[in-house]
Amino acid sequence: MDHFQYRNGILHAEDVPLPAIAAAVASPVYVYSRATLERHARVFQDALKPAGDVEVAFAVKANPNLAVLRVLANAGMGADVVSGGELRRALAAGVGRDRIVFSGVGKTDAELALGLEENIGQFNIESEEEGIELSAIAASKGATAYCTLRVNPDVDAGTHAKISTGKAENKFGVPIDRAPAIYARLAALPGLRLRGVAVHIGSMIADLAPMAAAIMRMGELVGALRGNGHVVTHVDLGGGLGVRYRPDDAPPTPTDYGAMVARATKGWGVRLMFEPGRVIVGNAGVLLTKVIRVKPGATHPFVVVDAAMNDLARPALYDAYHHFEPVIETNTTFTANIVGPVCESGDTFAMARDCGVVGAGDLAVFRTAGAYGATMASTYNSRDLVPEVLVDGSRHAVVADRIPAATVMGAERVPDWLG
């Protein structure tokens, strides 16, 4: 459930009519709903209650906006970060340092050192090599790194190839059959306190079966590690739960997920950790856009909007579907191609889409844009970097300024020797 609803025929974010935001900030602009963020955080946390001792760290990469992170931190979430930049954001947003988990296959020495200096809660080590480096850095600082070993369970998440992470050929984690040997080696290193294992098989998972299979394998691994004399107190089950993008999508609910997890982990006697991203923020944001013009096409008209692939990359990257709706409700529909102004055929949000009729100057939204939206934005085609707004009841605030293309150009230099 989200708080983007039509009232008197006008799409609102909570109590704010979207035309008011377009008037104040211009388009394109991302609009987030605080009440929706808080609701999703609460629903997810409540859904995991049957699983016992649980800690939830929001996957910052899904939406790293400081205001969004602050809302989620206030709602009791930690942060799963995958770079030094995200680590600094989590700290700046007020996430408790002991609630920060550092994931990622390519943490540099500088990033590992930053995590140690900031005394974060946990490193999810993705290779034996990384563990050896982290040990050396921690030992040299006289610090202790609390860690899990990320395991690749060789399970097909059944999702898009570009967001699948738990198959043997993917770069993430260590192969599950080699995990006991690597775990034993890392557990003996100074500076590391290896306390469990982590898994994350992919994103936008529409079926619980592969998740259950991965959890079962992790359970067997925990048993094997304990059999080898290790003390296992933490298991991080990652994120990946899908959300509804199309009106008729029916992904597993957080409640279904929580019940499955509670069953599958019964008796493990560990603290379970989770790293949800999309399910928390996806439906808490829309991308508000304006139709520049409608031009005829071979079969269907092209609706050219002022948002583009540089603002919302998912359709171009993964052929992703984003529901497109006029801000002023209409009962008449047409079939159209929805495209942006960027000079690439990939700058296409939808082909042959049935949607409410829009014309030049009309406002519309792409729904479910709160996850992997603004965070992936670029300035391609020398367009402005898209701004972000947070709504709270009847008030709203710009939580990320539009960065003009001229400002980006201002960071460039033509050396004297070019004449």
Contact 203, 163 (CB under 8 A): yes
Give first-to-last CA distance, the chain, whole Å: 59
**Minimum Å distance from CB 102 to ligand PLP?**
10
Among 107, 195, 234, 278, binds ligand PLP (CB under 6 A): 278
**Considering only residues 73-102, where is the footprint of ligand PLP by CB under 6 A?**
80
Residue 326 touching ligand PLP (CB under 6 A): no
- What's the closest the beta carbon of residue 274 comes to ligand PLP, in angstroms? 8
Out of 1, 161, 343, 414, which one is annotated catalytic? Answer: 343
Residue nearest to ligand PLP (CB): 277
In degrees, to the nearest 5, what angle opens at C-alpha 393 toward C-alphas 77 and 372?
A: 45
Q: Is 294 in the site for ligand PLP (CB under 6 A)?
A: no
Task: Candidates 28, 210, 239, 252: give the one binding ligand PLP (CB under 6 A).
Answer: 239
Residue 307 CB, shortest distance to ligand PLP, in Å, is 22
Confirm or reject binding of residue 196 to ligand PLP (CB under 6 A).
no
Task: Output 211-219 pairs: Cβ under 8 A, ≥24 positions apart.
Answer: 211/157, 211/240, 211/257, 211/260, 212/260, 212/264, 213/153, 213/155, 214/153, 214/155, 214/166, 215/260, 215/261, 215/264, 215/265, 216/264, 217/153, 217/155, 217/176, 218/151, 218/153, 219/264, 219/265, 219/268
Residues whose CB is less than 8 angstroms from the CB of residue 229 and which lie 6 or more positions away in sequence, other chains included:
none
Shortest separation between residue 206's beta carbon and ligand PLP, angstroms: 11
- Quick check: 159 binds ligand PLP (CB under 6 A)? no
Q: From CA 377, how far away is CA 385, in angstroms rounded? A: 7
Total binding residues for ligand PLP by CB under 6 A? 17
Among the listed ranges 255-263, 270-278, 325-333, 360-368, the one in contact with ligand PLP (CB under 6 A) is 270-278
The reply on whether position 40 binds ligand PLP by CB under 6 A is: no
Q: Considering the complex, what minimum distance in angstroms separates the CB of residue 323 from ligand PLP?
A: 19
Largest Cα separation within the chain, whole Å, is: 72
C-alpha span between 279 and 285 (Å, rounded) = 12
Should residue 61 be labelled a site residue for ligand PLP when binding is judged by CB under 6 A? yes
Residue 240 is a binding residue for ligand PLP (CB under 6 A): yes
Three-state SS at 405: helix
Single residue of 166, 191, 238, 326 touching ligand PLP by CB under 6 A: 238
Q: Does 121 bind ligand PLP (CB under 6 A)?
A: no
List 275, 306, 347, 384, residue binding ligand PLP (CB under 6 A): 275
What does the radius of gyration of the chain's CA atoms come to, in whole angstroms?
Answer: 23
Helices (H) and strands (E) in the chain, counts: 12, 21
Return d(Cα 196, Cα 341) in angstroms, integer.
Answer: 49
Told to judge if 343 belongs to the known catalytic residues of this protein, a careful annotator would answer yes
* Residues engaged in binding ligand PLP (CB under 6 A): 59, 61-62, 80, 103, 200, 203-204, 238-241, 275-279
Give catalytic residues, as residue numbers: 343
